[in-house]
Amino acid sequence: MPTTPLPHRIQSFQEYREVYARSVADPEGFWAEQARTFRWHTGWGRVLDWNFEEPRVRWFEGATLNITENCLDRHLDERGDQTAILFEPNEPDDPVVKLTYRELHAEVGRVGNALRELGVGKGDRVCFYMPMVVELAVSVLACARIGAIHSVVFAGFSAQALADRVNDADCSLIICSDYNRRGSKNIPVKAVVDDALALGCPSVRNVLVHRNTGEEIAWNKGTDVWYHERVEGQSSSCAAEVMGAEDVLFILYTSGSTGKPKGVVHTCGGYMVYTAFSFLNVFQYQPGDVYWCTADIGWITGHSYILYGPLLCGATTVMFEGVPTYPDAGRFWQVCAKHHVNQFYTAPTAIRALMARGHKFVEGHDLSDLKVLGSVGEPINEEAWEWYHDYVGQGRVPIVDTWWQTETGGMMISGLGGLSPQKATFAGYPLPGIQMALVDKESGQELTGNPESGLLCVKFPWPSILRTTWCDHERCRTTYFTTVPGMYFTGDGARRDAEGMYRIVGRVDDVINVSGHRMGTAEVENAINEHGQVVESAVVGYPHAIKGQGIYAYVIVADGVPADDRLREEIVAMVRQEIGPIAKPDKIQFVAELPKTRSGKIMRRILRKVASGETEQLGDTSTLLNPEAVEQVIAGVV
């Protein structure tokens, strides 16, 4: 039986050094070699065409492919009967669903045909608003099969946030479920879609509804169609749309420091090559391993490392419907033991939440199959790292702390499981092909020595770098390519130690990271300001023991309005309505004034320090328009 070719898997740290050096000396040769292991319809002309001024990045241009043929069809001979997706339901005693590569291929075909029948074609945008169910994975792949562009919206966002995203991308179809099972509760999903449509989504022709819990839902005759009715009876064979390497694969909305979330655009060819290469190397995935990433497919981690990366490599990927604490705080470890998980990938916020419940929940579960533990989404503090290492990894399992972003498509800085030196709180070394730089904030010059600290940038394109932001290329340019001319700026600050290992310090812009979720402070402020009795607000992050960062809101209310708990509740409700529960402020402080510069800009630096309890070192306040505001803010801290 022919073995499916895969990108190169590095097998020692020494080899990593050699491969890295080669990837920098000859990026085109290096990535072409990885790319050749995939199935393409036609080959590329130039491997890479780029400049970071426009910016313009094109990998493998001229080549054609379909990513799902690489995720599915090409595995059928060798591993058609191997489990591709292993679904672990919310209720521990409900049946596990295992879809083999052959079954997944057939199911994707059926849904692809159903979507085509609904009039969805190449380049059309399809929005997903679904819980973590198999049908989500299948239909996302079905979109890719027929060349439609998927835009998955995390099912915790509000109707308003959903409507904004649907409208920005002019989606013609929304795929949703009736309800979402989360722990002991079922949460309405379809009702949120109805609310979004009521806000006005003129591009939406249909809503395809997956029956999940079977509970009652409202039905709109003109638009709503049942998933099962459309999919049943379809042929499982669905011709893959032939896509250009630089055709859009998906849009994923993410928060930045200004304005509304932007649609990060990834394309087919480069994203495929990079997610597969990075998955294989970071997790040191070997055929037959069971891999589990606990993220939601609504975020980039789920796209790249539940779906595409693992399936491209012929892995068995676990998809978990539930939450880490249901029925108790041992659920992750129970599932790891039950399915003999070999690689486990989660976020520091989950580790901290479980750590707080005590290690007794880890004990008693057989975790001897674990080979690599991963962390993603936010800096992992030393205490959480040690706990993960000592209790989950039993002191034996290597940890990979993977730094990357929605915009990077794949992991950028990380150890390679078991091969690289590891150091708590350090993400480690850049992956092959990733040319990182630290840049001095004041001078804009690259800092080449070690140790150093500065703005974290990337000097050279890698295959899965974002290509644009949907319908707004200028925003892409100004957000990422103007802070440091000639480089991609990440928004993060970092340190490099004497050995060249990177430690991510955190965002240096007005983005906060709450439980591993990115929030723009401006977005939260805009939501708060929607409240009729709010005059102005300023939102900052502060250290939070479980969430990493909490949301702290300073709010000025209109004259004569009582600044009380009832108003606090209304403000929280407003944020839930505008964005969703993940953005609700943890603390609200009512203030009479906000400290401002003479040019009228809010001094966030000071507000951040006050919210963090660092009132001793406020720095220079002499340039303030209203220095007395600082005293008031300190006096009223909550």
* Residue choice 404, 426, 488, 542 for contact with ligand WTA (CB under 6 A): 404
Measured from the Cβ of residue 89, the count of other Cβ atoms closer than 10 Å reads: 18
Q: Does 378 bind ligand WTA (CB under 6 A)?
A: yes
4-12, 192-200, 402-410, 520-528 -> range binding ligand WTA (CB under 6 A):
402-410
Q: Which residues contact 332 (CB under 8 A, 6 or more apart)?
A: 294, 324, 344, 346, 350, 354
63-71, 357-365, 377-385, 471-479 -> range binding ligand WTA (CB under 6 A):
377-385
Of the pair 317, 513, the CB lying nearest ligand WTA is at 513
Judged by CB under 6 A, how many residues of this single chain contact ligand WTA? 24
Report, in Å, the least distance between residue 517 CB and ligand WTA.
Answer: 7
Measured from the Cβ of residue 308, the count of other Cβ atoms closer than 10 Å reads: 31
First vs last C-alpha separation in the chain: 66
* Residue choice 68, 113, 490, 537 for contact with ligand WTA (CB under 6 A): 490
100-108, 215-223, 369-377, 563-571 -> range binding ligand WTA (CB under 6 A):
369-377
Whole-number Å distance between alpha carbons of 143 and 108? 9
| Positions 491 through 520 that interact with ligand WTA (CB under 6 A) | 491-492, 504, 506-507, 513, 518
* Residue choice 300, 306, 315, 355 for contact with ligand WTA (CB under 6 A): 300
Q: Does 301 bind ligand WTA (CB under 6 A)?
A: yes
Nearest to 293 by CA among 151, 445, 85: 85
Report, in Å, the least distance between residue 393 CB and ligand WTA.
Answer: 17
Using CB atoms within 10 A of its CB, is residue 564 exposed (0-12), middle (13-18) or buried (19+)? exposed
Report, in Å, the least distance between residue 310 CB and ligand WTA.
Answer: 16
32-40, 103-111, 374-382, 556-564 -> range binding ligand WTA (CB under 6 A):
374-382
428: left (phi over 0), alpha (psi -120 to 50) or beta: left
Q: Does 377 bind ligand WTA (CB under 6 A)?
A: yes
| Positions 10 through 49 that interact with ligand WTA (CB under 6 A) | none
Report, in Å, the least distance between residue 265 CB and ligand WTA.
Answer: 14
Of the pair 492, 523, the CB lying nearest ligand WTA is at 492
Of the pair 128, 299, the CB lying nearest ligand WTA is at 299
Report, in Å, the least distance between residue 63 CB and ligand WTA.
Answer: 27
* Tokens read off for 317: 């990927």
| Dihedral pair phi/psi, residue 139, rounded to 5° | -75, -30
Report, in Å, the least distance between residue 345 CB and ligand WTA.
Answer: 11
* Residue choice 376, 465, 567, 629 for contact with ligand WTA (CB under 6 A): 376
- What would the 3-class secondary structure string for 544-574 be? ECCCEEEEEEEEEECCCCCCCHHHHHHHHHH
Whole-number Å distance between alpha carbons of 66 and 601? 49
| Dihedral pair phi/psi, residue 42, rounded to 5° | -135, 155
Report, in Å, the least distance between residue 414 CB and ligand WTA.
Answer: 8
Report, in Å, the least distance between residue 282 CB and ligand WTA.
Answer: 11
Of the pair 317, 490, the CB lying nearest ligand WTA is at 490
b/e code 210-230 from CB counts within 10 Å (16+ = b): bbbbeeebeeeeebbeebeeb
| Dihedral pair phi/psi, residue 162, rounded to 5° | -65, -45
Binding mask 516-545 for ligand WTA (x = CB under 6 A): --x---------------------------
* Residue choice 23, 64, 158, 406 for contact with ligand WTA (CB under 6 A): 406
Binding mask 250-289 for ligand WTA (x = CB under 6 A): ----x-----------------------------------
Report, in Å, the least distance between residue 348 CB and ligand WTA.
Answer: 8
Please give the DSSP secondary-structure letter assigned to residue 239. Answer: P
Q: Which residues contact 83 (CB under 8 A, 6 or more apart)?
A: 98, 99, 100, 316
* Residue choice 90, 402, 420, 469 for contact with ligand WTA (CB under 6 A): 402
| Positions 422 through 481 that interact with ligand WTA (CB under 6 A) | 427
Report, in Å, the least distance between residue 456 CB and ligand WTA.
Answer: 8
Q: Does 405 bind ligand WTA (CB under 6 A)?
A: yes
196-204, 434-442, 486-494, 596-604 -> range binding ligand WTA (CB under 6 A):
486-494
User: Which residue has 């169910």 as its token pair?
Assistant: 133
Tell whether the torsion through CA atoms of 470, 145, 461 and 154 is positive or negative.
positive
| Structural contact between residues 287 and 53, judged by C-beta atoms closer than 8 angstroms | no
Q: Nearest 5 degrees, angle CA 368-CA 369-CA 371? A: 105
Nearest to 548 by CA among 419, 360, 376: 376
- Residue 42 bridge partners (DSSP): 64
Instruction: Provide the binding-site residues for ligand WTA, judged by CB under 6 A.
Output: 254, 299-301, 375-379, 401-406, 427, 490-492, 504, 506-507, 513, 518
